[in-house]
Structure 1
Amino acid sequence: MGDLENRVIVITGAARGIGLGIAEAVADQGACVVLADILYDEAQESAKKLGNGHLAVKHDVRKAESAQSLVEKTLEKFGRIDALVNNAGVGPNPTPIQDLTEEEFDRVLDINLRGVFLTTRAVVPHLIKQQSGRIINIASIVGQTGFAMIVPYAASKFAVIGVTQCLAHELAPYGITANNVCPGIVETALHSRVVEQFSAMQGQTVEEGWDFFRNRIPLHRFQTPRDLGEMVAFLASDRAKNITGATFNVDGGWEMH
Structure 2
Amino acid sequence: MNDDLQVAIVTGAARGIGLAIAQRLTADGFRVVLTDVDGEEVAKQAEALPGAIGLQHDVRDAAAGRAVVEHVLAQFGRIDVLVNNAGTNIHAHPTVEVTEEDFNLVIDVNLKGTFLTTQAVLPTLQKGGGRIVNMSSILGLKPVANVATYCASKYAVTGLTQSWAAELAQYDITANSVHPGIVATALHDRVVEGVSALTKMSTDDAWAEFQRSIPLQRFQTVEDVAAVVAFLVSPAAKDITGSEFKIDGGMGVA
- Which band: TM-score by shorter chain? over 0.9
Q: Which residue number in structure 2 is paired with residue 120 of structure 1?
A: 118
Where do 4+ consecutive residues of structure 1 move more than 3 Å? none
Does the aligned pair in 1 maintain the 2:32–2:53 contact within 8 Å?
A: yes
What is the TM-score normalised by the length of structure 2? Answer: 0.96
- The whole-number CA distance in structure 1 between the counterparts of 2:117 and 2:126 is 15
Tell me the distance in 2 between the aligned counterparts of 1:199 and 1:95: 11
1:64-91 CA distance string (max 9 Å, x none) = 1000001001111111001000000112
Match in the other structure for 2:59: 61
Letter of the 1:14 partner, please give it. Answer: A
Instruction: Verify the 8 A CA contact 1:24 1:226 in the aligned structure 2.
Output: no
How do 1:1-257 and structure 2 match up within 5 A? Answer: 6-50=5-49, 52-130=50-128, 132-256=129-253
Q: Which amino acid aligns with 2:16?
A: G
Matches of 2:166 and 2:97, distance apart in 1: 38
SS in 2 for 1:10: strand
CA deviation after TM superposition for structure 1 residue 235, in Å: 0.2
| Amino acid in the other structure paired with 2:175 | A
Cα pair 1:43 1:56 within 8 Å, conserved = yes
Query: Unaligned regions of 5+ residues in structure 2, if any?
Result: none
Q: CA deviation at 1:201?
A: 1.4
Indicate the SS of the match to 1:11.
strand
Amino acid aligned to 1:65: A
The structural deviation recorded for 1:7 is 1.6
More deviation, 187-196/117-126 = 187-196
1:256 CA drift (Å): 3.1
Distance between the aligned counterparts of 1:214 and 1:147, measured in 2? 15
In percent, how many aligned pairs have the same letter?
49
Secondary structure, counterpart of 2:89 in structure 1: coil
TM score, norm. by length of structure 1: 0.95
Deviation of 1:228 after TM superposition, in Å, equals: 0.7
Aligned-pair distance for 1:99? 1.4
Distance 1:12 1:246, change over 3 A: same
What is the CA deviation profile of residues 34-86 of structure 1, one whole-angstrom value per residue up to 9, with x for unaligned ones? Answer: 00111111101111122x21111110101110000010011111110010000
Q: Distance in 2 between matches of 1:151 and 1:202?
A: 17
Residue 37 of structure 1 aligns to which amino acid in structure 2? D
> Matched residue of 2:178: which SS?
strand
Deviation of residue 218 (structure 1)? 1.1
Q: What's the CA shift string for 1:105-162, capped at 9, x where partnerless?
A: 12211111000110000001101111x1000000001111111111111100000000
Q: Deviations over 1:213-247 (max 9, x none)?
A: 10111111111111111100000111100100000
Look up the SS of the partner of 2:107 in the other structure: helix
Kept in 1, the 8 Å contact 2:90–2:102? The answer is no
Whichever residue aligns with residue 69 of structure 2, its letter is V
Aligned residue pairs, count: 251
Taking the aligned partners of 1:57 and 1:164, their CA distance within structure 2 comes to 25
Offset at residue 208 of structure 1 (A): 1.0
Matches of 2:8 and 2:63 in 1, distance apart?
20
